[in-house]
Chains A and B, each alone.
Chain A
């Protein structure tokens, strides 16, 4: 019989040979790492992912589910895609949603690890545990949505993934595992699509309790804590951040955008035809889908809006919609695409200049097929900046382009970016929560704030291991206890989610240590560190902030993990050799 809420095994698929092996997941691993980014990172490490070159055949690409997948708990239809990033060289864990997760769980496994390289462009099919690697040359050049297979649920790459663009995405059901170039990892394996289906079910510890909890959580998810997401979407951030001088504009040279009202949520809702949608098993319905001028529907989030709008100086909402649609079609991460284009604009590379929407559209296509100037930009901003002789213009951390929060005026978020295991990252840190509260001071980070940044990061890790949507954050009054109760109802396990979150974050640091992390990797671009008055950062201040963060994590002053902390978190087996 399967473990409660789990299958207790992952499927290792070697696409070079077509061989597939079910690998047991020890119970203590399931309890300690739960699922999602936690389990995915553990499998990736176990499969040698911390040392294999990201685009080599040996590198594993992991699709990890969780105990909650397949239950009626709202927002639980999620998966984590995990690999060593070709953009950063460190761990990348991207979360996506919807039916693929449910089908993957029903196919009989808690996770899938794809290794090897197929001889030609192929589709991996898992049909109730039976595995086939099919030649799929007919899919070359097609969009991810063209790769659906009747009766199955499919995750696929677009042109960018085929061409190993270092910020290519993996898409399923119109959603994207976006950050870190996981689509390039899939493309390097010659895998265009991964299709799953099955009939397998897992037993739950307390089915009636799960149903009751799901009903309660769904009811609460309709409340005021999610009103912004339901009614306006994340794009509502744009005008707020603009007013607070926190909106990255023209490659972070400025922090407010004069044309922000033209591309803000209110203008989009008033001027563009619009519909709402939601992921599978979600009651929030945060997706706001607008019609681009060509008529195609475009799901628009704040990150895409800022990255393809203010960051590149484009103040025409229809052109932003076009660019977002193009990124979805080509399989490009919008944040990295915008960040890399902004670098090129400031450097004057490829004929690009701020505000030139025509050039943005043309260059996105060139990037996806590595044509002309797009070939260099397909490497991401860090490598492009190095090659162009202007590394100081690349706005990244560890190679990952910075999301839509100006670090100078959101300083808790600045710390979250600097220390983030996958680079500049608003989803794994979420420290903006402190900046947007009366507990912090977004313009003047103080040492006592470091512990709160750790607490927020650990809670995010626990949510991403469960996996539940972070838009539920405001719905929980005490996520650690409420989330643990949901997990207990599903698995019977009594898990301390605070400790689990800390364990997952420290494990990700251990992964990065194996991958070559050093203290110098935890930093911000010099553009943000010019010092001065309140509302600015200096190198010394950032260094102090990071030191306080390491201390709050019980890490060494150099940011490594001491044996005592590893023992406390049951991570000793993963410590690098001295």
Chain B
């Protein structure tokens, strides 16, 4: 699956997208932390998203359960929860 990073997550990782191959959201986030250590601990903490950050599965719904299954064709957007403008 592919992570797309936005805002502060993109700035910390220094890249827009990261591919991983785990089967669940939690395992994918742990892979993401290894690939992009700049996300730890501000955005990724103990294998989960830190408070104030969200994961959107394919842009359709926000997910937080580490057991959420993800597959090759999925995209998870990592973005800040603060949407105010």
* Residue ranges of A at the interface with B (Cβ–Cβ < 8 Å): 224-225, 227-229, 231-232, 234, 236-237, 239-240, 243-245, 265-266, 301-303, 306, 403-404, 426, 430, 432-433, 435-438, 441, 443, 470-471, 473-474
Contacts and interface: CB of A to CB of B under 8 A. Distances in A.
15 contacts: A224-B42, A224-B50, A225-B82, A231-B8, A232-B7, A236-B7, A237-B85, A265-B7, A404-B85, A435-B83, A436-B54, A436-B81, A437-B54, A470-B84, A471-B82
B42 A227 contact: yes
Contact of B64 (A225, A240, A244, A438): A438
Interface of B: 4, 6-8, 10-11, 42, 50-52, 54, 56, 59-64, 77, 79-85
A240 B6 contact: yes
Contacts of A438: 54, 62-64
A426 B85 CA distance: 8
Nearest to B16: A266
Nearest to B84: A470
B85 A473 contact: no
Given A228-B8, A240-B6, A474-B52, A234 B59 contact: no
Given A236-B6, A245-B59, A437-B54, A228 B85 contact: no
Contacts of B64: 438
A430 to B, nearest CB: 7
Contacts of B62: 436-438
Contacts of B7: 228, 232, 236, 239-240, 265
A228 B63 CA distance: 21
Contact of A240 (B50, B79, B84): B79
Identify the 3 closest CB pairs spanning chains A and B, nearest first. A302-B85, A234-B85, A236-B7
Contacts of B52: 224-225, 474
Given A239-B6, A240-B77, 6 more contacts: A231-B11, A236-B6, A236-B80, A244-B59, A437-B54, A437-B62
A432 B83 contact: yes
A472 to B, nearest CB: 11
B4 A243 contact: yes
A337 to B, nearest CB: 16
A441 B79 CA distance: 16
Interface of A is mostly: helix
Contacts, number: 82
Contact of A433 (B42, B51, B80, B83): B83
Contacts of A433: 81, 83
A303 B51 CA distance: 25
Q: Which of A228, A245, A430 neighbours the largest number of chain B CB atoms within 10 Å of its CB?
A: A228
Nearest to A444: B61
A302 B85 CA distance: 5
Nearest to A304: B85
Given A224-B52, A243-B4, A243-B59, A436 B85 contact: no
Contacts of A473: 82, 84
B61 to A, nearest CB: 7
A437 B81 contact: yes
Contacts of B84: 234, 426, 430, 432, 470-471, 473
B34 to A, nearest CB: 21
Nearest to B4: A243
Given A232-B11, A437-B54, A474-B52, A403 B79 contact: no
Contacts of A236: 6-8, 80
Contacts of B50: 224
Nearest to B80: A228
A89 B77 CA distance: 41
A244 B56 contact: yes
Q: Which of A266, A470, A471 neighbours the largest number of chain B CB atoms within 10 Å of its CB?
A: A266
A10 B12 CA distance: 49
Nearest to B60: A443
A259 to B, nearest CB: 17
A505 B63 CA distance: 32
Contact of A228 (B54, B56, B77, B82): B82
Nearest to B75: A243
A243 B6 contact: yes
A237 B7 CA distance: 8
A107 B46 CA distance: 52
A403 B81 contact: no
B56 A266 contact: no
A232 to B, nearest CB: 6
Contacts of A471: 82, 84
Nearest to B59: A244
A243 B2 CA distance: 14
A327 to B, nearest CB: 16
A266 B82 contact: no
A239 B17 CA distance: 14
